[in-house]
Copies of this chain bind each other. A is one copy, B any other.
Amino acid sequence: MLDTSPLAPDCFPDLPPVAGLDMAVSEAGIRYEGRADLWVLRGQPGTEIAGVFTRNNAPGAPVIWSRRALTARVHRGAPRLIVVNSGTANVFCGRKGVQAVCETAQGLADVFGGTPESVLISSTGIIGEPLDPSRIIHKLPEMKRGMSDNLWEASARAIMTTDTYPKGATATADICGRTVTINGIAKGSGMIAPDMATMLAYIVTDAAIGQDALQTMLNEFNATSFNAITVDGDTSTSDTVLLVASGTVGYDKITDAADPALTDFKFALSSVMLDLAHQIVRDGEGASKFITVNVAGAVSDQSARAIAFSIANSPLIKTAIAGEDANWGRIVMAVGKAGEPVDQDLLTIKIGPYILAANGALSESCTGAGVEAYMKNAGIELFCDMGLGKGCFTVWTCDLTRRYIDINADYKS
């Protein structure tokens, strides 16, 4: 068991019940002993679900299944079901893996009702070890009897693998004069180790919003939250983010993401997603610093994104920050290697409030006690103004420490 990350929040936030949704956790003994490793979330009939999944071209059987389940026909009056296990990722298990997913979905439908085709499944843990679906299925009747609307922290813990703390966030928003709740839980510790550190997030609300509108909002905010973080540049085969709306709050269901009634909701949703994304970075393997990389003045947002990720994924910059060194030369290198337009004479680089380089050369404030003291903070902000246009993007990452190597070199598959 790893020590809790030094960047962890003080405690798990107080997540209220969300009407129309209940859940259960169980110790299925898939890989871990003496802890919950199975979570079922049930939405009342009519619940709408949107999802985004890993872009890895070798996705796991649960991801392939869940992509299809999002578009499956849901029987009127049937509940919507999400099941998540930790311990094995059920990835690269050939036909056995596909079989395990089918049997798990059938098991859920048998116990809770509805069709197996609409059950969403996530698995996280080691790759290549097939999931034994009977371990899940024989726990389901007991879980059904124990369904509760108030098990958020236990749920966040059940989906953990190498995470050192459970991750949750909550917010409220106003839609048409009614207050709706948004809760989210997530897991991930590395972006993203495939063995034990897939990124998963489940965001739920009692708002009444149609699937297409949910999907549009999820895509938009995913780009600037879960898709704007990196720990080690590696991409899991199982990443999944689901957005679930039970629709219990009484107003006409909103079906257009551009509806002005969603303005406040969008703000709250993006806050919850960003909060969870930051918590994943703060639990990055071996992290000792939380790093914000702001790039502005690029020729486009896409160009700014490429430059920000080039900086955030550079092992040389991440090790420099671990060593509390304001190594602006490595930032120049990473800006240049992104392959995006650069004019060195227009480039400005800041660390925190200190201008390190401007007009193609070193600034006088690049050394000295101010910068040196700033580098000792647990939160470090890097800022690059390219001086070329209006494109901007922000990426969050953590430093690269001896502990990352310890965790990943000592791990045995």
Q: Does A53 contact B (CB under 8 A)?
A: no
A320: chain B residues at CB < 8 Å are: 408-409, 411, 413
Q: Does A412 contact B (CB under 8 A)?
A: yes
Q: A39-63, CB under 8 A of B: which get 1 and which 0?
A: 0000000000000000111110000
A361 and B94 contacting across the interface, CB-CB below 8 Å: yes
A361: chain B residues at CB < 8 Å are: 92-97, 128
A410: chain B residues at CB < 8 Å are: 323
CA distance A225 to B193 in the complex (A): 30
Q: A323-353, CB under 8 A of B: which get 1 and which 0?
A: 1011111101111111111101101000000
Q: Does A322 contact B (CB under 8 A)?
A: yes
Q: Does A319 contact B (CB under 8 A)?
A: yes
Stretch at the interface among A169-177, A267-275, A396-404: A396-404
Contact A327 to B94, CB < 8 A, known contacts A316-B232, A357-B128, A405-B402: no
Q: Does A121 contact B (CB under 8 A)?
A: no
Q: Does A37 contact B (CB under 8 A)?
A: no
Interface size on A, residues (CB 8 A): 71
A323 and B409 contacting across the interface, CB-CB below 8 Å: yes
User: Nearest chain-B residue to A128 (Cβ)?
Assistant: B362
Contacting residue for A332 out of B237, B334, B360, CB 8 A: B237
B405 and A322 contacting across the interface, CB-CB below 8 Å: yes
A56: chain B residues at CB < 8 Å are: 333, 336-337
Copy count, this protein chain: 2
A334: chain B residues at CB < 8 Å are: 234
Q: Does A29 contact B (CB under 8 A)?
A: no
A329: chain B residues at CB < 8 Å are: 91-92, 126-128, 194-195, 413
A339: chain B residues at CB < 8 Å are: 55, 57
CA distance A60 to B210 in the complex (A): 54
Q: A354-380, CB under 8 A of B: which get 1 and which 0?
A: 000101111000100000000000000
CA distance A146 to B128 in the complex (A): 64
A97: chain B residues at CB < 8 Å are: 361
Q: Does A233 contact B (CB under 8 A)?
A: yes
A55: chain B residues at CB < 8 Å are: 337, 339
Q: Does A236 contact B (CB under 8 A)?
A: yes
CB neighbors of B among A63-110 (8 A): 91-97
Top-8 shortest CB links A-B: A58-B336, A127-B329, A323-B409, A94-B361, A319-B408, A194-B333, A56-B336, A235-B337
